[in-house]
Amino acid sequence: MEHTPAPTGAPDPRRLDREASPSPDPVSGPGRADGLEAEPAAAVIVFGDALDRVRDFANQLALRGEELGLIGPLELPRLWTRHIVNSGLVAPLVAPGALVGDVGSGAGLPGLVLAIARPDARFVLIEPMERRTDWLRSEADRLGLENVEVVRARAEDAPYAERLDQVTARAVSALRTLIPSVVPLVRRGGELILMKGVRVEEERQAAAKQIAKARLTNIEILTLGDGVTPEVTRVFRAIVG
C-alpha cells in the first residue's frame, strides 16, 4: 500500500499553513458547555462541512466527559485545540474507502472525530473499558454515524487480524509497545497512523527492534497543522510489510 494523498476536496494537513488562512474570529457556537474553550478559527479549515457535527460532539464531550472519566478537569479550556482539532488534522491521511481501526479510542479521540470528518471510510473503535465503549456507541448513534463499529477488546484480542487497511492510535503507549500490539491487525501493505508527542523521534529510535521485526517501510514522522493551530499533531506513519 503506497501512502495515499488527501482525497479531492480534503486539505493536506502538511500544507494548511501555506494554503489556508484562518478566519480572525473564533466561533463559540450556541449552547456551548460552561468552561469549554471557544471554538478556534482553525476548526473551520480542518473540518469544513463536517464542523456542525464535530461541534455537537465537542459540546457533548465537554458536558459529560469529566463525569464519565473520559477527560480530566483541566481539559475543557483546551479541548478544541489540544484534542478535537488535533485529531481532525489526521483526517486527510485516511484512505478513501478504508477500513480503519482506532486502537484505544477512549473518548473518541481520534476515532469519532475521524468518522465524522471522513464519512467515506469505515471505522472500528477498539477499546477495552466498558464505560468508554458505552459512550462510543451512544455517541455514534446520537450523531448518526453509520460508518462506525465499536468493539470492546484490547488490540491483541480484537477480531480483526490482518483485516484492517489502516490503524490509528492516540496517547496509547510508546512505539516499542504499541507497534507489536497493532501490527497484527493490519493487512500486508496496510498502514500505521500513530499520533505521538514531541519525543516521537526518540520513541522511533527506542523501537528499532520492533520496527525491524514488523518489517515496517516508508516510515515518516509528520508534523501537521504547523502555522494553523498552536497544538500541532505529530504522526508516526509507516507501511506494514
Q: Is residue 37 part of a domain?
A: yes
CATH number at 218 reads: 3.40.50.150
Does residue 9 belong to any structural domain of this protein? no
pLDDT digits (tens, 9 = 90+) for 112-137: 999 999 999 999 999 999 999 999 99
Q: What percent of the chain is modeled with pLDDT above 70?
A: 87
Q: What HEC string does the chain produce?
A: CCCCCCCCCCCCCCCHHHHCCCCCCCECCCCCCCCCCCECCHHHHHHHHHHHHHHHHHHHHHHHCCCCCCCCCCCHHHHHHHHHHHHHCCHHHCCCCCEEEEECCCCCCCHHHHHHHCCCCEEEEEECCHHHHHHHHHHHHHCCCCCEEEEECCHHHCCCCCCEEEEEEECCCCHHHHHHHHHHHEEEEEEEEEEECCCHHHHHHHCHHHHHHCCEEEEEEEEECCCCCCCCEEEEEEEEC
Q: Could you tell me if residue 4 is inside a domain?
A: no
Q: pTM score, two decimals?
A: 0.87
Question: What is the domain extent for residue 150?
Answer: 16-240
Task: Provide the domain count of the chain.
Answer: 1
Asked, for residue 10, whether it belongs to a domain, the answer is no
Classify residue 219: in a domain, yes or no. yes
